[in-house]
Amino acid sequence: MASSTSLSSMSSSSSHSSTSSNASLKRIRKPSPYKQVYNFVRAFFTTLYLLLIVLTVPIAFQVGGVYCGLTFTVTLFCIYSSLTVIRLVLYRNWVVNVLYYSQHLLIPSILTFSLSVFNNNDMEQLKLDHIVYYKFFIKPWMYVIQKSTPWFTLLEGLCTVLAIQSIGQTFTWLKLNKSESWVIVSLLSSGGIITTSMYFLYRIYSSSVEISSASASLIGAILTFCCGVGLYGIISKRGSTVESSLLFAYVVRCIYETFPELSLLASNEMGILISSATNQIRLDVQFLPLLLTDSVTHLVSSLTWNVPVSFQAVLDFFIAAAKTVTPTVLVNLAYRVSVFYSATRIIPALKNPQPSTRSMRVIYAFSPCIIIAVYTHLMMQYSNELDSELCIWGWWLPLDKREGQEIVVDPWLFWNWINMFSTLGLYALELFTDPQEWKG
């Protein structure tokens, strides 16, 4: 009896000690105010850098030309990657940290220098004037960007499958562990996604854009494949309505991206909808109470008078830069960056619930370099500067024997179709090999 009492007292004391140790660990892990301020400053500078990249790269390409844009992006890529390597090696050196965060102030200067020095449409003359920079920086950078179409396209499909499955599993967990009301939320979300996708799919056939018979056949095949895989996932309960609707929406989005005319048409329609909504808001503002409108007008005028005059030039620069950003390019950039970032969160969690902080730190440190490369590739694509021919058959033959025996296709169309079929095939493989089928 005494031994049982002592054991119970020991267990209670051990549980009390473990509770106290957990509480002490929580107190220890709480970040200090200095750490919170540092994280806020770092997030601010990261957001500022991404904003400057998004606004300045289109200016370099559309105002200065392709050569100016390539010069600007490769300069940013080299500066950021070099400072990132130095910062990872000398992480606790405050001088290196100051230099690392000071590069944000150099972006407008680099843009101005690129526009003033490399703003020339004569490519041959520019190559002669800057032969060293062209040979060792511009030419390799252009080659990498032009040959990266399959990598960016297929990686986008892979990351999309991971993101779709992660979203579907999140909704499943919410329905099982939180509340059944999430079933209604998932059904409403799926219905909205499918309705929007069906509308844009209808616009493909009702628009004036000409589509070849081969492309129309491929569209029919890919839609049939997508509907079959989605229905199989719902019926077999290995997938969900959310996953199937997101997969269908991604296929429709890829169809639009395969044909630039359709993508331009969709962006114009979105612009018309936004402008009409803005005009409607302006009309509604006129019917607001007079006291409220006078207060807002007085507040805006007082803020305008108190802002220094020097900020007017900065504001004009951001407004002019925002007008140069094409909505299609911005949407594609946002989508690719989001799915790539989600993949960096999902892939480590597949093996270990707590991913390695060292590897993730390296990936996040070089993530702006990936964004610069993706953005440059999108600008080259919409400037029609990527490769226009891809030999998929007969490339091993000598040049004098290729005529009549080779098959040449558009690389952008080819890799987009490959991406759609491979994405659906990968998702179907995940459904067929789902280990939950053999449980129980």
* Enclosing domain of residue 208: 150-299+322-364+415-440
Whether 359 maps to a domain, the answer reads yes
Asked, for residue 95, whether it belongs to a domain, the answer is no
Please check whether residue 43 lies inside any domain of the structure.
no
Q: Decide if 217 is inside a domain.
A: yes
Please report whether residue 227 resides in a domain. yes
Residue 154 amino acid letter: L
Instruction: Give the model's pLDDT for residue 209.
Output: 77
pLDDT at residue 14, rounded to an integer? 44
pLDDT in tens, the chain (440 residues): 444 444 444 444 444 444 444 444 344 455 567 777 777 777 787 788 888 888 888 888 888 888 889 999 999 999 999 998 998 888 778 888 888 888 888 888 898 888 888 876 666 777 777 788 888 888 899 999 988 888 999 989 988 998 898 888 888 888 888 777 888 988 999 999 999 999 888 888 887 778 888 888 999 999 999 999 999 999 988 888 999 999 999 999 999 888 877 777 777 776 676 667 666 666 665 655 655 556 656 655 665 555 555 455 555 656 665 666 677 777 888 888 888 877 766 666 555 545 455 666 777 778 888 889 988 998 888 777 877 777 777 666 676 666 766 777 778 888 899 999 999 999 999 888 865 543 33
Output the DSSP codes for 222-271: HHHHHHHHHHHHHHTTSS-HHHHHHHHHHHHHHHHHHSHHHHHHHHHHHH
**How far from the centroid of its chain's Cα atoms is residue 232's Cα?**
29
Q: What is the pTM of this model?
A: 0.76
pLDDT value at residue 17 = 44
Distance CA 329, CA 264 (A): 10
Q: How many domains does the chain have?
A: 1
74 within domain boundaries = no
Residue 10 has a pLDDT of 42
- Number of other residues whose CB lies within 10 A of the CB of residue 279: 10
Q: If DSSP states are collapsed to H, E and C, what string results for 92-140?
A: CCHHHHHHHHHHHHHHHHHHHHHHHHCCCCCHHHHHHHCHHHHHHHHHH
Who's near 405: CB < 8 A, 6+ residues apart?
393, 394, 397
Domain membership of residue 40 (yes or no) is no
Asked if the structure places residue 177 within a domain, the reply is: yes
